[in-house]
Amino acid sequence: MSEINIPINQPPSITISSGEYHQRWRLIKDALARYGVVAGGLGVIVAIVLIFFYLLYVVFPLFISANAESVSEYAVPEQALGRTLLLDIEEQNEVGSRFTDSGQVAFFEATTGKTILTQAVTIPEGAHITSFAQGSPINEGAVVYGLSNGRAIVVKHQYKVTYPNNVRVITPSLKYPLGEQPLVLDDSGAALEQVAVKVGEDSTTIVAKTADTPQGTGKIRLINFQKEQSLFADEAALTRTDSVLEQSASNIADILIDKDESNLYLISNDGQMGFFDISDKSSPTIRQQQNVVEAGQKITSVAFLNGDISLMIGDSTGLVSQWSMVKDKLNRPAMQKIRSFKVSDKAVVAINAEQRRKGFMTTDADGIVGIYHSTAERELIKERVSDALPSAAVLSPRANALLVESADGKMHFWHVDNEHPEVSVKSLWQQVWYESYPKPDYVWQSSSANNDFEPKYSLTPLVFGTLKAAFYAMLVAIPLALMGAIYTAYFMAPRMRMYVKPSIEIMGALPTVILGFLAGLWLAPFMEEHLTGLFATLMIVPIGVMLFAFTWQFVPKTITNNLSEGWDAAILIPVILLSGWFAFKVSVPLETFLFHGTLRDWFKAELGIGYDQRNSLVVGVAMGFAVIPTIFSIAEDAIFSVPKHLTVGSLALGATPWQTMIRVVLLTASPGIFSAIMIGFGRAVGETMIVLMATGNTPVMDLSVFQGMRTLAANIAVEMPESEVDSTHYRVLFLAALVLFMFTFVFNTLAEVIRQRLREKYSSL
């Protein structure tokens, strides 16, 4: 039996050639690159959007409206003790106090009205209270009682905070800084109809208006007590100084003393304000007598704004005007009205100032309570706290609560949410009349050492400084970068271009902090010393180049023919260096001959132009140096990429190389050139370290090239590390970052639109 072999069909082998393999792999890599570029582009867009929304998230609370809500309402604590002369509340909003006309002080829980402590002020027998005034509530808490026998007693209310078993306990008490015995202010025993007090660490000043007596008319007396600590005594001795003001006391309605005990204000019923200098307590002198309300109107309330620099004066028409101390034309301090608020159509019966900001609270005759901020000129809150008329009101030290007593015997405790009252469109972008300033101005000054400071958050000088720095930088960079790009791309020999282009581009790798360091420590002093030489260079170097070009035509052809085409610029290097050296050498005798001294002194004396060592000229040169590589590289690539058939065709038709450059090459490359300028401008706007180190970093608005500036980016870099998180200052810095972000975004968007239009217009060339 024979074997039969049946063949089995094998699948045909598939052979992939090397060319097909590489083609497939290239397609895969192309797809990966395409998707990678798309993912990267989308990632950049997402990152930019997230940055924008984060900035918006931080900035948004600045523009949230303030609000107030009722927390509790209860009967006036210890109402039997008498009529309320003063309401007060301590910092934690836990304990309130009520000073009454019977000399009693009731301390109570602010939220419930539960009485904590009742104390009586030591009023001597046979005397009664005829006047009352509160000293500055900031770090003082002093009040003064004027008595019917010509005496006064000063009392401080204070709050001791303890933490037994980790629970906060606030214990109120009264203290007598000048002793429990009443102080004799008037020897004749005339009643004190008006009184004011300021209690300092080493000095206390009391001013009182006495009543008319059969022996004579009332007087305004000033008494100062100065503490003098002896080496051998346990307690400090009080040195008393008495004086009488030469001012009629017949119609005085209110008396105020500033916190430094150097200025005194007497407010009369007919709307007159007397401004006195009481620095020398023995001889007060009048500085100004001024009518502070319109004729026919009456002053209904007066209070110091925080810092005691400004007076808030309310009148019978519902107008509150701010009067601040400024220097007049003779450089003398004088009170001047700087702004006013129409808070009501009814009379303003009370004004209470915030203790830590430039805000204040008003109460009108219709029972409406309003909270305002003076610098921002904003009405923040306006609420009817009670159906009955308010008889006393107070803002808490942190301005986050208010306590109001109404005529129906009720006490109203409200919570106030008012985190950022200092910010408004006016305070950010318009001129504001700040305290002690002679006129409205744009000012950025965000912080100080104490709470009396008035924050100044104007972004206008920062935007101005940003544009000013960018303008001078572009003024230096654009001509040099574009002219260099044109020559390098079109006229320069290829071999020379191989050295020049990388050399200029590597300039862009220099850290800007190094450029700023050199600009601040070397360039700024050098330019100050050789200012005339710098200006002489701008004139002598072009003249030297033109003279060399003129004499070059007389050079023998045997020499010029040996010079390869496109290497002409190399010959100009020593010419420029020699011309610059000559300009600086000749500048010293030229400066002495023309200006009889230094050019800086001549500018100051003849033109009134000052010179700061770190100024816009230094920034223009240093930042222009940093921007040149960016503009040069992009513009040079755009010019060099113009198709050769366009230039060859133009030359073939008889155009000169320069005509070809102007009418063909530049028009075709205009989108790229425009992009180069815009990218360079964006670099200049966002530059931080050079501006930070090469300018005085002062936010002044001066167009002079010899004055410094502060930019948005530099301001953020300087102040952000020191700002309190979530504070107004912190959020305003983020607002500055948002302004810078929006500025660059809008500007770059417009630039891209223009670039596309140019590309469409000249794409047919």
Q: Which of 256, 291, 326 is the last residue of a domain?
A: 291
Q: Which of 237, 256, 291 is the last residue of a domain?
A: 291
Kindly tell me if the per-residue pLDDT of 9 is higher than 60.
no
Shared-domain flag, residues 555 and 683 = yes
**Type of residue found at 535:** F
251-309: pLDDT as tens digits: 888 888 888 888 888 888 788 888 888 888 888 888 888 888 887 788 888 998 888 88
pLDDT for the residue 553: 81
The predicted model gives 420-424 an average pLDDT of 89
Contact call for residues 315 and 348 (beta carbons, < 8 A): yes
Shared-domain flag, residues 524 and 607 = yes
Kindly tell me if the per-residue pLDDT of 434 is higher than 60.
yes
Give the list of residues 6+ apart from residue 408 with CB closer than 8 angstroms, or none: 386, 387, 388
Kindly tell me if the per-residue pLDDT of 7 is higher than 60.
no
Contact call for residues 690 and 619 (beta carbons, < 8 A): yes
Residue 277 lies in a domain: yes
The predicted model gives 634-660 an average pLDDT of 86
pLDDT for the residue 149: 87
Tokens of 667: 């028009």
Residue 93 lies in a domain: no
pLDDT for the residue 336: 87
Contact call for residues 172 and 157 (beta carbons, < 8 A): yes
Q: Domain containing 203: what range? A: 123-291
CB atoms within 10 A of CB 511: 10
Say how far residue 246 (Cα) sits from the centre of its chain.
43
465-505: pLDDT as tens digits: 999 999 999 999 999 999 999 988 888 888 888 888 888 88
pLDDT for the residue 477: 92
Shared-domain flag, residues 157 and 40 = no
pLDDT for the residue 135: 83
pLDDT band with cut points at 50, 70 and 90 for residue 591:
confident
Shared-domain flag, residues 683 and 565 = yes
Kindly tell me if the per-residue pLDDT of 727 is higher than 50.
yes
pLDDT band with cut points at 50, 70 and 90 for residue 1:
very low
Residue 129 lies in a domain: yes
Q: What is the mean pLDDT of the chain?
A: 85
* Cα→Cα distances 212→184, 216, 218, 274, Å: 17, 6, 4, 20
Shared-domain flag, residues 512 and 628 = yes
Shared-domain flag, residues 58 and 143 = no
**What is the share, in percent, of the chain residues with pLDDT greater than 70?**
94
Residue 424 lies in a domain: no
Shared-domain flag, residues 59 and 138 = no
pLDDT for the residue 748: 81
pLDDT for the residue 233: 54
pLDDT for the residue 329: 74
Which of 4-13, 21-30, 416-425, 428-437 has the weakest average pLDDT?
Answer: 4-13
132-157: pLDDT as tens digits: 988 876 656 789 999 988 888 999 88
Q: Which of 244, 276, 291 is the last residue of a domain?
A: 291
Kindly tell me if the per-residue pLDDT of 14 is higher than 70.
no
pLDDT for the residue 203: 85
Segment (H or E) for 403: strand 401-406
* Cα→Cα distances 598→532, 593, 602, 606, 612, Å: 8, 10, 6, 12, 14
Better pLDDT: 563 or 197:
197
CB atoms within 10 A of CB 535: 15
pLDDT band with cut points at 50, 70 and 90 for residue 106:
very high
Shared-domain flag, residues 135 and 36 = no
- The residue with tokens 């366009």 is 646
The predicted model gives 501-520 an average pLDDT of 87
CATH number at residue 757: 1.10.3720.10
pLDDT for the residue 462: 92
64-103: pLDDT as tens digits: 888 889 899 999 988 888 899 999 998 888 999 999 988 8
Number of domains in the chain: 3
The predicted model gives 375-397 an average pLDDT of 87
Contact call for residues 355 and 347 (beta carbons, < 8 A): no
Shared-domain flag, residues 549 and 619 = yes
Residue 278 lies in a domain: yes
Contact call for residues 143 and 135 (beta carbons, < 8 A): yes
pLDDT band with cut points at 50, 70 and 90 for residue 212:
confident
Q: Which residues of 92-111 are buried (b: 16+ CB within 10 A; e: fewer)?
A: ebbbbbbbbeebbbbbbbbe
Residue 309 lies in a domain: no
Residue 389 lies in a domain: no
Shared-domain flag, residues 47 and 135 = no
Residue 737 lies in a domain: yes
pLDDT band with cut points at 50, 70 and 90 for residue 665:
confident
Shared-domain flag, residues 216 and 131 = yes
Shared-domain flag, residues 36 and 174 = no
State in Å, rounded, how far the first CA of the chain is from the last one. Answer: 90
3 state SS of 585: helix
Kindly tell me if the per-residue pLDDT of 16 is higher than 80.
no
pLDDT band with cut points at 50, 70 and 90 for residue 10:
low
